[in-house]
Amino acid sequence: MLNLLRCPNLPVSSLLSLRSAVVRWLRINRSIIQAVIFGLASFGLQAAPQYQAHVAYLQGEGDVQGIKLALQRSTEFGQPTLQQLGIGGQLQFEFSANFWRYQPNNQTDQNLVLALSPVWTKQIGALLQRPLDIEFGIGVSLLDDTQFAGKNVSTHYQFEDRLGLQWHLSTAHSVYLRYMHYSNGGVKKPNPGLDFIAVGYSQRF
């Protein structure tokens, strides 16, 4: 083993030069190395994320109806900034699949929508001694069809905006009421937008 470590084919001067270069690199990048180690340690110490499963009934304009299935994951991302600004609250990321249906005069028009959105929630009071939260979010969505419910929304990519109230029945169960709006933000005309009222239930696990 000692003979292998001596590396007889490599001059001693080269080994010394390599050692000096490594030491010099470690000194120069010491702060970066410390930051990486601290970040990895902090990641390992983070509490396990919490999840919420959501199901909601959607009522749109006229004969537009739908179902929204979603999964939310809690995150520490942005929490220090929210605290510093005095806003508080909690941030989650939500992925959802939305199934829309339009049935005028026995005709059926359907659309599949996938969405990803950050959702900010904060308790604003209590109802029957149970927490009542407000929630707000602006995300992005992908529509399967740009022609839906007699409207041409122009682009497959749409912004998904929400404003709602969530009432906690217990630590694990809650119900909510939301206003949802989809539009392309004026990126392309026409941009009529689509509006929904969502009534739903969620379970934390």
Higher pLDDT, 163 or 45: 163
CB 156 within 8 A of CB 187: no
pLDDT digits (tens, 9 = 90+) for 92-122: 999 999 999 998 776 789 999 999 999 999 9
9 pLDDT higher than 60: no
What Rg do the C-alpha atoms of the chain give, in angstroms?
Answer: 26
DSSP assignment string, 42-87: HHHHSPPPPEEEEEEEEE-STTEEEEEEEEEEEE-TTHHHHHHTT-
CA distance 169 to 172: 8
Record the pTM: 0.74
In sequence order, what are the beta bridge partners of 53? 71, 203
